[in-house]
Structure 1
Amino acid sequence: MLHVLLVEDDLDLAETVIDYLSLENIECDHASNGLAGLEFSQQHQYDVLLLDLNLPRMDGLTVCEKLREQGYDVPILMLTARDQLSDKITGFNAGTDDYLVKPFELDELIVRIQALSRRRSGQVQRLQCDDLIMDLQTKTVTRSGQSLKLSPTSWQLLEALMRAYPDVVAKQKLEAAVWGDTPPDSDSLKVHMFHLRKAVDAPFEKNLIHTIPGHGFALRNET
């Protein structure tokens, strides 16, 4: 069962959406203002966040920006009556993944929720695994507060691993993340993973980068 959060101050619309989602076996929590929506998002795990743009106490754009700054990678679908391209661009710049203009068909809402729930958001600006933090906005990586120096290739490999955390990333997918459709010789990935481990794990007591035999690599918060 999917679990979504609806942040919407129009109570009639919210009730209609919640009832319809329940018919589709989608569980829906509701917050009637932006501040409550922000708190709900931080306290519970959701598959998709449905976020109205015009909200009391904190508008939807601000909620979206704050969540992305905190590394929140749940897909966000912005609901709004504004249909101008400039409004949509503003929303995407704030970190939303999709846009649905009011009034909308409830069937379309279901389809978009189902599509968004299959992936993590690509809009997140802060990735974290244990004490390892990657800030995509400032292009910095730290571990235990120490700044790490990474080559461009190491950065791309680490970003792919952190976006997937804690899932396994296949060798082919890592190669594609760095070299696209023209993968290098078979030893190149091995060499670059060695350098990445040297930067990320070697100076610290606990290893975060793990080889998953027969599958690929993964970041894991374990000893």
Structure 2
Amino acid sequence: MTETIEHMNVLLVEDSKQVADVIYEYFEDTEIELDYAATGTRGLTLAQQNSYQCIILDIMLPGIDGLTLCKTLRDAGNNCPIIMLTARDTNQDMLEGLNIGADDYIVKPFDLELLEARITAVVRRSSGLGFKNSLTVGELSIDLKSHCVTRQGKRVSLNPSGFKILKLLCEHHPNLVTREAIESVLWPDELPDQDILRKHIYQLRSKIDKPFDREMIITVPKQGYKIEQ
């Protein structure tokens, strides 16, 4: 399989259960976690309510078709990378999808390794990661290989959960990351019974913000968190 970015939440909007099952089975043991919608209407709701690194979007859908869904998201300012899936392979169809904001296009039937590679590529481009080994937001820097975090040149020691949260916030800067998206990264299999995320955020702030003169980790009430330069 293609090397993927560490953990990605991906929305699959596909009305064919057979196609969805094949995609689910392929990504089952990878760092790509799928949410699924069988209609365009449900896909739009999920895309509006959650934070995804990529959307895999079929064109022919019940409810809202894929092209309309893509245009609706783009008109609303949602810049999540979108890969269109379709059996329609004419240049006109491809151009229409790309012109309304799709990032890539795959024609059915397709190779699953190619789909994985396309997902990784569009996520890298959209996040500004490219093939970099570090993330920088203002005076904060993260070495993605060594997991070394510094602010104003001073090293900050984080536990694994704190590092995952900070990395996610930096990857999505300047946008917010929903509580649900953070929880799915920390606890991909089963959420804890109590609100442990609040405790992790508090611990992260005590390391990243408290020793310095201003806060970088910002709470967006009832939505999630973001990081500011």
Query: What is the TM-score when the length of structure 1 is the normalising length?
Result: 0.55
After superposition, give the CA deviation of every residue in 1:147-203 in whole Å (9 maximum; x if it has no partner). Answer: xxxxxxxxxxxxxxxxx9529xxxxxxxxxxxxxxxxxxxxxxxxxxxxxxxxxxxx
Q: Match for 2:64: what amino acid?
A: M
Give the equivalent residue in structure 2 for 1:71: 77
Q: How many angstroms does 1:121 deviate by?
A: 8.3
Find the partner of 1:166 among 170, 174, 179. Answer: 174
| Cα separation, 2, equivalents of 1:30 and 1:99 | 19
Q: How many angstroms does 1:120 deviate by?
A: 2.3
**Helix, strand or coil: the match of 1:23?**
coil
Give the equivalent residue in structure 2 for 1:101: 107
| Cα separation, 2, equivalents of 1:87 and 1:121 | 27
Give the equivalent residue in structure 2 for 1:11: 17
Q: How many angstroms does 1:20 deviate by?
A: 0.6
Q: How many angstroms does 1:115 deviate by?
A: 0.7
After superposition, give the CA deviation of every residue in 1:27-82 in whole Å (9 maximum; x if it has no partner). Answer: 00000000100000011111100000000000000000000000001100000001
Q: Match for 1:6: what amino acid?
A: L
Taking only aligned residues, the RMSD between alpha carbons, in angstroms, comes to: 2.7
| Cα separation, 1, equivalents of 2:35 and 2:174 | 26
Give the equivalent residue in structure 1 for 2:157: none
- The 1:90–1:22 alpha-carbon spacing in structure 2 relative to 1, beyond 3 Å, is same
Q: Where in structure 2 are the equivalents of 1:22-61 lying within 5 Å? A: 22-61=28-67
* Alpha-carbon contact 2:173-2:227 (below 8 Å) kept: no
Runs of 4 or more off by more than 3 Å in structure 1? Answer: none
**Helix, strand or coil: the match of 1:50?**
strand
| Cα separation, 1, equivalents of 2:89 and 2:20 | 20
- The 1:90–1:121 alpha-carbon spacing in structure 2 relative to 1, beyond 3 Å, is farther
Q: Match for 2:60: what amino acid?
A: N
Q: How many angstroms does 1:7 deviate by?
A: 0.1
**Helix, strand or coil: the match of 1:114?**
helix
Q: Where in structure 2 are the equivalents of 1:121-160 lying within 5 Å? A: none
| Cα separation, 2, equivalents of 1:165 and 1:114 | 18
| Cα separation, 2, equivalents of 1:85 and 1:104 | 17
Structure 1 stretch displaced more, 75-84 or 18-27: 18-27
In the alignment, structure 1 segments of 5+ residues that lack a partner are 123-163, 168-219
| Cα separation, 2, equivalents of 1:221 and 1:25 | 24
| Cα separation, 1, equivalents of 2:63 and 2:100 | 18
| Cα separation, 1, equivalents of 2:90 and 2:124 | 28
The question of 1:83 aligning with 2:77 is answered no
After superposition, give the CA deviation of every residue in 1:117-164 in whole Å (9 maximum; x if it has no partner). Answer: 113289xxxxxxxxxxxxxxxxxxxxxxxxxxxxxxxxxxxxxxxxx9
